[in-house]
Structures are given as C-alpha cells and as structure tokens.
Structure 1
Amino acid sequence: MNSKRLGVALLASAITLSGCASTPEPVIGAAASQARTDLGQVNYSQSRATTYMLRPSDKISVNVFREPELSIENVRLGVDGEVSLPMLGSIPAAGMTTKQLEQDVSRRLLAAGLRTPMVSVNIAEYASHLVTVEGAVEDPGVYAFQPGARLSSAIALADGPTNVAKRQQVAVFRESPQGIMIAKFDYQQVSQGTMLDPVLQPGDRVVMGTDGLSVFYQNLLQALPAFGIFGVAAINNSNN
C-alpha cells in the first residue's frame, strides 16, 4: 500500500473511532445520590449546604445604618480568616454566617460606645470558591464557582471533555484532615444520572483522564497532510 492510500485508510479508521463517542442517554427518574465507597467517594455529597460559613479570601460588604464612616464595601477576609473594619480593627470572621457576623459587629460597636448599632453584612464575592480543572478538557484552568455547584459544573466551566478524553476516569483531589484524598467518578454515568454528581468544595482539583489510543489517532490525523505531501512527491518523482 502506498503512502497516499495508507493515509486515507488511517483517516477512515480515525473517523470511525471518533464516531464511537456519543452523549449517553439519561436514565429517567431520580438521579443517584449514594457515594461509592469503592471509588473513594465517602466524603462527597449530593446535598447543598443550607447555610454559608464565611471563608478566607471571601469579600464582604459591611453597612452600619446611618454611619457611613463605619461602613465598608468589598473588604476581603485575610488568610487568617480575619477582616479589618473601621473603628474595630481586625476581627475574626471566617466560620461565621453573615447573620452571626452582623451580631458580633453590633456587639463590638455597642461596646465601643455606638448607640443601638444596626449592622448588615452581605457577601460581595465568593472568592474562596476556586476549582482547578485539568487533563483532557477543552480549556483547562482555575475557575470560580458558586456555592452548591457540582462536579459536572466544573467540567462545563472548562468547556467539557475533549475528543480524546477517557470520560470513565475523572479524578477529584480534595484536602481533608488526613491529607489529600482522591476519588474517582465516571463522567458518562454522572451525565446519565446513574452516579453521584457531587457538590464541589473550594480547592478541589478535577482531572479528566486521557484515552491513549485516541491520542494516537489524533496525532495521526495531524500528520496526515504530511502523508499527502509525501504521496504527491513520490508520484512526481516517479514521473520524472
């Protein structure tokens, strides 16, 4: 077989293989909610938190009614979990809800001599909520996400799997008191609703696996123009 025919044959094979990947049919009914212990999913959950505890790097706005000089916009919690406020200096904030922080700031202002302080705290940016998505995704990177977002959301933020992705092999790395823990998920099953689609935690790292065979054929496709040029050159040389 000459090089030109070889290129055509390899192209046909690559197209055939690439056509094998398709979006799985969803399974109608309730989605899977149980973690798979054999895949390390014990500390992963389907449930969204009903309350939000402030975390280091989050940005908040603190408004003291009729006291603009004591109010502040878009102030960031430090890595130590403290926030710096007018008149009060640095105070602990991480681990509190906005309601708890309102009460704490009101108490501190009252102790500092302000009569009947009325305080409201709002979250300006969930800046602590970052997820790293890498591996065989279209646009790897570090992405901000909203509390309650799921693993499928992280993959969507990275524009989804590439055509060489091994969708059955998605690793999620998560910090725990015992160190970095790794769980495995099958993106096809998650898409069907037959495997848990866990809620993300700040600092999660998601790695989409790569199908080595598909990578081979993708590299081959990229080299096909070279096969074509070689074939034309061989024909021209044989005619001379």
Structure 2
Amino acid sequence: MSHNARRAIGTSIWLAAAFSIAGCASTPEPKIGRAASQPVAELGQANFSVTRPTTYALRPSDQISVVVFREPELSLEEVRIGVEGNVSLPMIGSIPAAGMTAKQLEQDVTRRMAAAGLKNPIVSVNIAEYASHLVTVEGAVDKPGVYAFQPGARLSTAVALASGLKRTTKESQMAVFRETPEGIMIAKFDYAQIQQGTMLDPVLEPGDRVVMGTDGLSQFWEDLLKALPAFGVFAVAGIQ
C-alpha cells in the first residue's frame, strides 16, 4: 500500500470519528411551562421585550391606501409615507402621517377634507405594506440578507427568514444591534436558550441587525473540508 493510500485511509477514519462526535449535538430540550420573558440587563437586553404592541404607529416607507367613499379621484390605492413622515393626498396636499395609527390618520384626513370643502367625507385608511419593517441578518446563517417582517415578529423569526443557522454557528454568540435615542445599543443572546425557552425571544424592531457568531473549531472543519480535494485525500481508488 502506498504512502498516499495509507494517508487517505488514516484521514478518512479521522474524519469519520470527528463527524461522529459532531453528530452527537442536538437541539436542546424545551423547558416545559412558562418561557422566560425578563431581559437580562448585564447582556444589554434592557431595551428588548416579549410584549407585542397592541396598536401600530405608521412609519416612513410604510405603504397605505386612502379611500374616500364615492370620490375615486380623491382616493389612492397605494401611497408611500415619505422619509420625512408625510404623505401627499389629493385636495389637501402633504400632511403628517408617521406616528399616527391608521385610525388617527383616517380621522385627520376626514377633518382636512371637510375643511377644504368636501361635504360629509367618508374616509378609510388601511396599511398595504409594512415596508419600514426590515431586519438585517448576518454571520453564520444559511442566507444572510435584509428581510421584511411583520409587526410582532420575534428574534427567532429573523433566523428563520435567513433559512436557519449554519453548522459552524456558535449559538451562544448572537448579537443584536438596535438604534435607540441614546445611540446604537448592542445586546447579546443565546439562540440555544431562546429555543429552549430559558431566554426571552424578543419582538423585533424595524432596523434591527442580527449577527450570528461562528464556532472557531467548526470553522476549522469547514475550511479543512474545502481544502481536502486539493490534497487528494479522497483519491483512494489507487489503494493496493
């Protein structure tokens, strides 16, 4: 048996043992009962909550529809709220919209149209697209990118949107960057604990950035496997 063949066999056995050990890892058992809901202050989680908002305040980039009953020329099926927070409507021009609920904007548009001379206006405002709700997911996930999400979605949703974790992910190294009035704050989470229910799974905020860390040892295995074909380790056809 040649030296290269013996090396190939030895490396194959070594890799098989390594993957056998790696295969022992499994998803942690969930905790039965009430899941954790309190932020861990020392991990920077003070600005995070599991409570979903009961009302929705319009934001820049959100898309709404404004329908004026029996007034098609005054109605808009789709109109986007501008970066300054205003929306431009027929008859009344540019008016503030960000920060209001759809109902509040509906009442404001009704009042303004009546003041502009429209008799007994009946206005309906609905949210067509929550376009302001974007989360960036980076690091050791299968498909990093920027994803749209629905209001009330949780941190675990961001991972699912990115098609889950890579096998090189270090689940305890999960960082979330969030913009606050005091500046961008960074909080640390443990994804395995979130799955288990022993750490809160907070509600996402528009603009959140989620970064999943990489396990150095697992990264070593990944880099090694990429290099194997170059060294011909699996070229064992010539074994004698």
Hey, what does 2:66 align to over in structure 1? 62
Residue 172 (structure 1) aligned to one of 171, 176, 179: 176
1:218 Cα offset (Å): 1.4
8 Å CA contact 1:14–1:221 kept in 2: the answer is no
The answer to whether the Cα contact below 8 Å between 1:60 and 1:124 also exists between their aligned partners in 2 is yes
The answer to whether the 8 Å contact 1:7/1:227 transfers is no
In structure 1, runs of 5+ residues without a counterpart are none
Change (3 A) 1:17 1:62: same
| Runs of 4 or more above 6 Å deviation | none
Which of 43, 46, 49 is matched with 1:42 structurally? 46
Is the contact between residue 18 and residue 163 of structure 1 (CA under 8 Å) also seen in structure 2? Answer: no
With normalisation by structure 1, the TM-score equals 0.93
Output the CA distance in 2 between the equivalents of 1:166 and 1:20. Answer: 15
| Amino acid paired to 1:200 | L
Aligned partner of 2:76 among 72, 80, 89 = 72
Q: Give me the identity figure in percent.
A: 70
Partner letter of residue 129 of structure 1? H
Aligned to 2:131: 127
Distance 2:199 2:47 in 1: 15
Q: Cα offset for 1:219?
A: 1.6
Q: Secondary structure at the match of 1:206?
A: strand
**Structure 2 counterpart of 1:30, which letter?**
R
Residue 175 of structure 1 aligns to a residue whose secondary structure is strand
Matched, 1:181 2:185: yes
8 Å contact from structure 2 (residues 35, 197) kept in 1: yes
CA distance in 1, matches of 2:50, 2:199: 10
Q: What runs of 5+ residues in structure 2 fail to find an aligned partner? A: none
State whether structure 2 residue 215 is matched by structure 1 residue 211: yes
Secondary structure of the equivalent of 2:98? coil
Residue 162 of structure 1 aligns to a residue whose secondary structure is: coil
String of CA shifts for 1:39-59, please: whole Å, max 9, x gaps.
Answer: 000000000000000000000
Given the alignment of the two structures, is residue 19 of structure 1 paired with residue 23 of structure 2, yes or no? yes
* Equivalent position of 1:201 in the other structure: 205
Alignment correspondent of 1:160: 164
Matching residue within 111, 115, 136 for 2:140: 136
The number of equivalent residue pairs is 236
Contact 2:7 2:233 in 1 (8 A): no
1:149 alignment partner in structure 2: 153
> Alpha carbons of 1:229 and 1:20: their partners in 2 closer, same or farther (altered >3 Å)?
closer
SS in 2 for 1:101: helix
